[in-house]
Structures are given as C-alpha cells and as structure tokens.
Amino acid sequence: MAKNKLQVTYDFDFLLLALNASVKPYKLAWSLNKDLGLHLIKSENIEIGFNEQKSLSIQNFIDSAEFQTVRLIRNRAEDTNGAFNAFLLPELKNFDYLLLLENETNTFNENAFISEIKQIPFVQFITRIDTQSLKSKDNLIF
C-alpha cells in the first residue's frame, strides 16, 4: 500500500525582532507599554512538550488590537522543575527576548518602531530577524 505524506507550509507573515535586555520580563513589558503606547498583558505561559516527558514553559505578553498583535516572548525557557534550560529559538540563544509583530495596516513604520525601542535605557541591542533563515521557525507557531 502506498503511503501519502502530508506536507504543511506555514506563512510566517510577521515581523520578528530579537533584543537583549537584562531585566525581568514584566519590567520590559511595562517599559514597552509606557514608551510605545502598547498594552502588553501577561498571558498564560506557552507550553511546548517533548517526547522525553520534558516540557518548556515560555513567558509571554500579548497586546491584541483590531489590526495589530504584538507579542513579547522570553527566549529562554525552563521546565517546571527548573533544571532543564532551553531556548525557544536555539540559533538566537544570544538574545533574551523576541518581539513578534503581526500587522495588517500599511501605515506601520518599522524603522520608527525599532528606533523607539532603542531609546529604552536597558535595551542593549535590537535587530530584525529574517524568519525564513531560522531552522527552528516552527517553534513560533502558537
């Protein structure tokens, strides 16, 4: 009997920013809310399970509006025991946080948005990431 394989391709239609900030996630979310006029709210942790009875718990904050969704995600994750450290995107392990922007309007100015984030005192570095070049980009599908 012939086997059929289902091939699924996802559209990664969002802007991905990686940033370094040596602060707690709630402080970064508060600062982004204050300085950028966002309304990031702590959401339930994202749980990713593995075959070996291990799972990752990833902190995230969401601001969902009518035409735009902003998600602040901590790149480093820990399991419930605290002994298993891993990264949501292992190839970006030098970055502390990821910022996903799903935008459906044409008036969004990406460069101005990045410049405003650079003005936050404890943000050390921010860069745009090409999602097509990531090996573990499937981890960004929630």
> Which pLDDT score is estimated for 77?
76
> Which pLDDT score is estimated for 142?
62
Give the three-state DSSP class for 93: coil
Nearest Cα neighbor of 37 from 68, 77, 83 is: 68
Tokens of 138: 């499937």
Nearest Cα neighbor of 97 from 124, 72, 133, 128 is: 72
Q: Which helix (H) or strand (E) holds 85?
A: strand 85-87
* Range with top average pLDDT, 32-36, 51-55, 85-89, 138-142: 32-36
Residues 66-89: tens digit of each pLDDT = 888 888 988 887 655 554 567 888
